[in-house]
Structure 1
Amino acid sequence: MSVHDWTKIFDGAFHHFHQTWVVAISRTLNAGLLPDGYYAAAEQVVGGPNADVVTLDAWQPVDEHGQGERLPDYLSGGVALADHPPKVRYQFEADRRHYAGKADHVALRHVSSHRLIAVIEIISPGNKNNNRALESLRKKVNLLLDEGVHLLLVDVLPPGPVDPHGLPLALSITDQAEVPSATDAEPLTLFSVRCAEAGDILSGFVELVSREQTLPDMPLFLNEERYISVPLESTYQDAWQGVPAPWKKMIESKSA
């Protein structure tokens, strides 16, 4: 399925689709893609009243005496990066200190005792419709990276005035020396950011996508050595099935 042109319809329609896609990803991950001890949930992490991301958490079981059992086996779950690198065209490395200096620092408080491992963020029009919105997204991303949370950002919206070269460059996570700008031929951006357990180096993988191609699987890291592949195409299709028919006609119309 081609990625639809969501600029043909009002932002609220994409919000509906966004919420459905978040749930579809969570459901798919929990249906057997995650190692034991991990779970995915659709929730609001930083700001906003609605569930806006998929979170990946690790939990520590408690026995009948209230004692914690072993944590998930971080060394065996998922796919080993060294053995099977993700099939993604572009890679980057960046100094987190340089990136962090571009946004205010806010401490993240997580009320659950369950450990937040990673976040999948599906970019919405409200994330980048003006400079203030982009700065808010930058702060949110920086907050999570500062806590060592791995990220997968999925942007199926075309570049606009605040991100003319694509979101990775607009967020200053990487530069054109490592990742090329988004183009008219490949306007959509998928990028996975991996946090090192020690030091200030961020690294990750970026894919540029055309509207005509299917969405590739993208890596979501469990730690700096292991990852799972997130099936973006099949979950996109699942979410599309829930779009109301009148909206589908508007989006699929020939004229913009």
Structure 2
Amino acid sequence: MPLRDHFRPPVEARHSWDELHGMWPGEIVRQLFPILPEGYVAAPRVHLGAAFEIDVSTFRETEPVTQSQPPRDQGGVAVVPWAPPRPTFTLEADLAEPDEYEVRVYDARFERRLVAAIEVVSPSNKDRPESRRAFVAKAEALLRRGVCISMVDVVTIRRFNLYADLLESLDGSDPMVGESPPAIYAVTARGRRPTGGAPLLETWFSPIELGRPLPTLPIWLEDGLAVSLDLEASYEEACRLLRIA
């Protein structure tokens, strides 16, 4: 079955995109367990960021509290809570956590050392510059720790390409991405240190098209040891269970 557009009708009219994003990581885990070597485990992780807004129209000036030092309890005397001084600086800032739909693979032989992360990109990962920077920063940090990272992006309503942004942050570019990076794609990236050579970033990039099957990605557990991630199989099983035609 081909890739559907989960962000536009007719699919979007019957099934919210987050239903697929919530189910898909579990199906990826179920697919990985039979092929992972002994000692490796996989686990889904879905974390929804808590967005919030500051409504300046509801701001109300309160009377300052003159208490400047925490009072001492002198036996039977009521203790008044200490009020810290006003902040020296206040900035309106978006500190909401990003959404995360991912699968993590651990080497359980070494205290659950994280070896691979499969990130299913959500609309909130691509909607604003700060969201894209946060996603790229996370991916870069994982790569620097020696973690293989895969990105699966089927978000058709945001044109940004986080893989291209990641390469730009590393002062690189991939000729396969081109001058107009595709909005949907799948890619695996890993860092490698050849003996006696400079550190390398290796990637396996595949554009995705609506109406066509999804690709298979390599998931590197360690240097010289990889398993295959059949995205098409896990995606179709997730759609079948959710009755997405």
TM bin, normalised by shorter chain, reads: 0.5 to 0.7
| Runs of 4+ with >3 A deviation | 44-51, 176-179, 197-200
Q: Indicate the residue corresponding to 2:207 in structure 1.
A: 208
Residue 23 of structure 1: which of 3, 7, 26 is its match? 26
1:34 aligns with 2:36: yes
Unaligned runs of 5+ in 2: 50-96
Residues 17-73 of structure 1: CA deviation (Å, up to 9, x unaligned) = 11100000001111x11111111101258975987211111112xxxxxxxxxx7xx
Contact in 2 for aligned 1:57/1:115 (Cα 8 Å): yes
Partner of 2:106 in structure 1? 57
Q: Which residue of 1 aligns with 2:155?
A: 157
Taking structure 2 as the reference length, the TM-score comes to 0.67
How far is the alpha carbon of 1:202 from its aligned partner? Answer: 1.1
Contact kept, 8 Å, 1:195 with 1:224, in 2: the verdict is: no
Larger Rg: 2
Gap regions ≥5 residues in structure 1? 61-70, 72-112
Q: Is the 8 A contact 1:191 1:204 kept in 2?
A: yes
Query: Does the 8 Å CA contact 1:41/1:54 hold for their aligned counterparts?
Result: yes
SS in 2 for 1:116: strand
User: Between the two proteins, what is the percent identity of the paired residues?
Assistant: 25
Call closer, same or farther: CA 1:200–1:44 in 2, change over 3 Å. farther
Aligned residue-pair number: 188
Structure 1 vs Structure 2 CA RMSD: 2.8
C-alpha distance 16-45 of structure 1, shift in aligned 2 (>3 A): closer
Aligned to 1:175, the other structure's residue is in SS state coil
TM-score with structure 1 length normalisation?
Answer: 0.65
- Post-superposition shift, 1:237? 0.8
After superposition, where does 1:1-256 map in structure 2 within 5 Å?
Answer: 1-8=1-8, 9=12, 13-30=16-33, 32-43=34-45, 52-60=101-109, 113-158=111-156, 160-161=158-159, 163=160, 166-172=161-167, 174-180=172-178, 187-197=183-193, 200-243=199-242, 248=244
Q: CA deviation at 1:147?
A: 1.1
Where relative contact order (Cα < 8 A, 6+ residues apart) is larger, the structure is 1
Tell me, yes or no, if the aligned pair for 1:182 and 1:208 is still in contact at 8 Å: no
1-structure distance, mates of 2:199, 2:238: 37
